[in-house]
């Protein structure tokens, strides 16, 4: 690596390491040498991964292999000692192809690390809440009273985990809501869920009516998380229903936000498919309520069972 090509690297405050296509260190800047106690003269020619230990070593090895095989940027997180880093590994291309790769390490402040942990915790918590909600619906009746009590106890424990997860974020000087994007395209969300539900309905032999307006405003929330929660809910209701059931997916604008509703009617005219239709699904509630929205389930003798999700408008 020529002096001209690396002339700015010694002045970067972030650690930088350059490796050849085999993953051997070619250059490390002073910030890298200081942070990882790895002077350039001692590490040149050594496999870059050997400069780290444990999970960090595995992460660097995996990133090196992916960058060299896919010729694209790879981002990952790692810990070294008492510090955490967000790392970007990128290929160095020339006319003859890939000639190496460069690693750029950004140290993450403690608050950012806690927020990252909080985001990672929320997904398995939502999955757990969904599973417990499903078990709760299946444990009605006197014979299953003991199991129902155990499930309810597990739900309360899950709620306590979520509470303390949020408390960790507060102690780090941030708010859990800050991880949510400012807005979500409600129209795209409604169509995405409708398309997934339509495929499931066809396979299960159901009828599905989709009623979505031409326009909808932006709403609060993470598009991916909302789409995943809604798609999972509609899929499971479709799969659990008797063949020939009728469903309606509706989106409409209200003064308080956008309302997404899913109505289900059994083929014999019965409005209910589950023993506890008044309880909204926990996983869906976990994705919506932190935004200031709400989830409600209402059973009507004529109209069927409707699960209504209200998403607040974005600022």
Per-residue model confidence as pLDDT tens digits over 57-71: 888 988 888 888 878
Residue 4, pLDDT score: 43
Q: What is the CATH number of domain 184-311?
A: 3.30.565.10
Stretches in the chain below the pLDDT threshold 70: 1-7, 96, 109-120, 123, 130, 133-134, 136-145, 167-182, 269-279
* CA pair distance 62, 58, nearest whole angstrom: 6
Residue 1, pLDDT score: 52
Q: What percent of the residues of the chain are helix, what percent strand, and what percent coil, each to the nearest 5?
A: 45, 25, 30
Residue 180, pLDDT score: 46
Residue 307, pLDDT score: 93
Looking at the domain covering 9-108, what would its CATH class be? alpha beta
- CB within 8 Å of 286: residues ≥ 6 apart: 122, 125, 126, 129, 162, 229
DSSP assignments along 156-194, one per residue: HHHHHHHHHHHHHHHHTT--GGGGS-S-EEHHHHHHHHH
Residue 275, pLDDT score: 44
Each residue's pLDDT tens digit, 282-292 = 778 888 988 89
Residue 170, pLDDT score: 64
Residue 7, pLDDT score: 62
Name the residue among 221, 227, 280, 232 with its Cα closest to residue 127. Answer: 232
- Give all strands of the β-sheet with 207-211 in edge-to-edge order: 207-211, 246-254, 257-265, 304-311, 294-300
* CA pair distance 296, 280, nearest whole angstrom: 6
Residue 137, pLDDT score: 64
CA 260 distance to own-chain centroid: 21
Residue 66, pLDDT score: 84
């Amino acid at each position: 690596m020529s002096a001209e090509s690396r002339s700015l690297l010694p002045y970067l405050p972030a650690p930088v390491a350059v490796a050849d296509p085999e993953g051997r260190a070619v250059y490390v800047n002073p910030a890298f040498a200081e942070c990882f106690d790895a002077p350039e003269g001692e590490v040149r020619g050594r496999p870059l991964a050997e400069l780290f230990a444990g999970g960090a070593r595995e992460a660097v090895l995996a990133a090196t292999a992916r960058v060299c095989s896919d010729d694209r940027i790879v981002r990952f997180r790692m810990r070294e000692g008492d510090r955490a880093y967000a790392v970007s590994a990128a290929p160095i291309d020339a006319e003859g192809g890939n000639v190496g790769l460069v690693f750029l390490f950004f140290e993450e402040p403690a608050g950012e690390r806690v927020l990252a942990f909080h985001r990672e915790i929320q997904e398995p918590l939502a999955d757990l809440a969904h599973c417990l909600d499903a078990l709760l619906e299946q444990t009605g009746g006197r014979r299953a009273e003991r199991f129902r009590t155990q499930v309810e106890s597990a739900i309360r424990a899950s709620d306590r985990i979520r509470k303390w997860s949020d408390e960790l974020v507060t102690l780090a000087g941030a708010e859990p809501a800050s991880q949510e994007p400012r807005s979500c395209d409600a129209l795209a969300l409604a169509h995405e869920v409708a398309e997934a539900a339509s495929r499931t309905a066809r396979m299960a032999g159901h009828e599905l009516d989709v009623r979505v307006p031409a326009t909808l405003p932006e709403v609060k929330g993470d598009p991916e998380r909302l789409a995943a929660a809604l798609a999972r809910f509609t899929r499971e209701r479709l799969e659990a229903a008797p063949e020939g059931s009728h469903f309606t997916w509706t989106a409409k604008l209200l003064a308080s936000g956008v309302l997404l509703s899913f109505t289900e009617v059994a083929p014999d005219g019965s409005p209910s498919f589950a023993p506890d239709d008044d309880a909204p699904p926990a996983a869906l509630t976990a994705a919506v309520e932190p935004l200031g929205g709400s989830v409600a389930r209402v059973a009507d003798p004529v109209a069927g069972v409707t699960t209504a999700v209200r998403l607040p408008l974005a600022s």
